[in-house]
Amino acid sequence: MTDNLLPTGLPRIDLLEMRGVVKRFPGVLACDSVDFDIKAGEVHALLGENGAGKSTLMKILYGLYRMDAGEILLNGRPVQINTPTDALKYGIGMVHQHFMLVDTLTVAENVALGLKSSRGPLLDLDKVEARVAELSRVYGLQVDPKAPVWSLPVGVRQRVEIIKALYRGAALLILDEPTAVLTPQEVDELFITLRRMTADGHSLVFISHKLREVLALSDRISVLRAGGLVGTTRNENITRHELARMMVGREVLLDRNKAPVKVGETLLSLNDVEAYRVTGTRALYNLTQELRGGEILGIAGVSGNGQRTLAEVIAGLREVRDGNVSLLGTDITKWGIDKRIEAGLRYIPEERMHDGVIQDFSIAENIILQDHVRKPFSRGIFLDFKAIARQSQKLVDEFRVKTPSIDTPIKSLSGGNIQKVILAREISNAPKVLIAAQPTRGVDIGATEYIHERLIEQRNRGTAILLISEDLDEVLALSDRIAVLYEGQIMGVVDRQDTNAEALGLMMAGVRQENLVEMKAADR
């Protein structure tokens, strides 16, 4: 291999610098004169909470946003990047957090999209397919160029995204939260690929809010907070705690100690439940599970393995085709939603903005959504606005929701504060069973810490909590027991203290608990 050339035959980017980048959105300073640079063969992590400006900064580099001030230098020469086409021309590619793939098209078609064809106006898919196959061999990214994207698992779709960027000649690759949708093993695989790429001379920007992964992969780390650069440091010189402090701006509690609680009786049980998604595909297969008072049962699993249907089946939003659900020993399979709420079942939905609140309603109106027909919020057919205001104000104060008033439309709040309102609404009535689906997704560390604290508090007072989360760290931090969901079936249920991320990761990839033991035995 020639020096300074990548395996794709293109030159590497020895140094890329962003200087004094400023970006304003209406009412927000998203980037406040940020400096950032990256060298060939290096992984430079951008760490920060949601809304810290990481993605904005990189979208500027990729030409999706224009900066209000600042400059970009490529190997010391200033360059203008106004569109993704410009960025690709300079060898800058991006893998977005939400994959930018057209799922009705094949892998090769997705790669060819927007590119010139060697046959003029006609597509040259044969050539594209051959080149994709070659790239996937050179970089160890297994993928079938003819497969339609909808048929591919998430991990493979990510490979397609990387190949797409390489095909376009990316020497520098921006990866926006690439591990969010992967199992721990898939993350390991991805990291191997990425290390191979840097060894070959690629430059990688790794955007993340996960401290562990940033420390595992990066050469250098830049921390952003509220649009400003807090600092850039070499990986060797810093610990996880120091990074967390830079990210949040104060001390944070990373590992949580839970006092043991005496587990109560079974409050919720699912027996042989079978259910389908809206699309008609089967989501849950003969699922049987019990949930007891005073415990947090974590449901681990990669997104799309039936978690959402599971939550909806319990909440009463989705029909149970076979089997039954019972609450406090009563069969509630045929019950409506309101009756379940009345009986003490509460639900924090994963799609906060869509299922959790009515965006244009005020905080107070959102707080009484389920309970507006009940005392004290209504008398006969009339709402009691004094009682509503009293309760709303009480919850806003108690849960430390940052808002100008209880009459503020909820959509103008930050994600963390909206989630606090939902949490307040769902736990203020002392629920017996609480379903918490992705309770901290997209929420900043501070609010996450607070939400976790309140969930544990509920557990301690005897609530049965079903915690559904795709964030394995969260499941490990909060749960007393952990069940792993894979393709609508439970692969195994383990006590928190008897397991680790590796074992859970294997189950998340479809290995049953009993086989896990055999695999361990075979290791010895």
Partner 1 sequence: MFNELLQSSVLIGILYSGIRLAAPYLFAALGETVAQRAGVLDLGVDGIMLMGSFAAFYVVFETGNLWLGVAVAVAVGALMGLLMAVISVTYQAEQGISGIGLYLFGLGLSSLLFRVMIGSVKGVSGFPILRIPVLSDIPVIGEIFFNHNILVYLAYLMVPVIWLLFDKTTLGLKIRAVGHNPEAADSLGVSVNRVRYFAVIFGAAMAGLAGATLSIAQLNVWQENITNGLGFIAVALVYFGGWRPLGVLLGSLLFATVNALQLWVQVKGINIPSDLAVMLPYVLTIFVLIFASGRVRQPAALTKPFERSG
Nearest approach, Cβ of 62 to partner 1 (angstroms)? 8
Query: What is the residue whose two structure tokens read 């250098």?
Result: 220
Least separation in angstroms between residue 64's CB and partner 1 is: 7
147 binds partner 1 (CB under 8 A): no
Return the bridge partners of 297, or none: 466, 481
Q: What are phi and psi of 76, to 5 degrees?
A: 90, -10
Structure tokens at 466: 């079903």
Tell me the pairing of strands 172-176 and 77-79.
unpaired
Asked if 96 is part of the footprint of partner 1 (rule: CB under 8 A), the reply reads yes
From the CB of 411, what's the least distance to partner 1, in Å? 15
Task: Name which position in 4, 69, 102, 407 contacts partner 1 (CB under 8 A).
Answer: 102
The closest alpha carbon to 339, from 369, 315, 365, belongs to: 315
Question: Of the two residues 121 and 380, which places its CB atom closer to partner 1 in the complex?
Answer: 121
**Cα–Cα distance for residue pair 251/245, rounded to 1 Å:** 5
- The residue among 96 and 225 lying less far from partner 1, judged by its C-beta, is 96
The C-alpha atoms of residue 466 and residue 380 are separated, in whole angstroms, by: 35
In the shown chain, the binding pattern of residues 458 to 497 toward partner 1, with x for contact by CB under 8 A and - for none, equals ----------------------------------------
Choose, by CB under 8 A, the member of 4, 80, 83, 412 that binds partner 1: 83
User: What do you get for the CA distance between the two ends of the chain, in Å?
Assistant: 41
b/e map of 435-446 (b: 16 or more CB within 10 Å)?
A: bbbbbbbbbbbe
Q: How far is CA 58 from the centre of its chain?
A: 18
Binder to partner 1 among 94, 345, 443, 456 (CB under 8 A)? 94
DSSP 432: S
What x/- string results for residues 103 through 142 when contact with partner 1 is judged by CB under 8 A? xxx---xx-xxxxxx---xxx-------------------
Residues 191-220 that bind partner 1 (CB under 8 A): none
Number of residues engaging partner 1 in binding (CB under 8 A) = 31
Please return the burial class of 288, using the count of CB atoms within 10 Å of its CB with bins 0-12, 13-18 and 19+.
Answer: exposed
64 binds partner 1 (CB under 8 A): yes
In the stretch 18-57, what mask flags binding to partner 1 with x, by CB under 8 A?
-------x-----------------------------xx-
Nearer to partner 1, 112 or 197 (CB): 112
DSSP H or E segment with residue 73: strand 69-74
In degrees, to the nearest 5, what angle opens at C-alpha 214 toward C-alphas 36 and 254? Answer: 120
Give the interface with partner 1 as residue ranges (CB under 8 A): 25, 55-56, 64, 83-85, 88, 94, 96, 98-105, 109-110, 112-117, 121-123, 164, 168
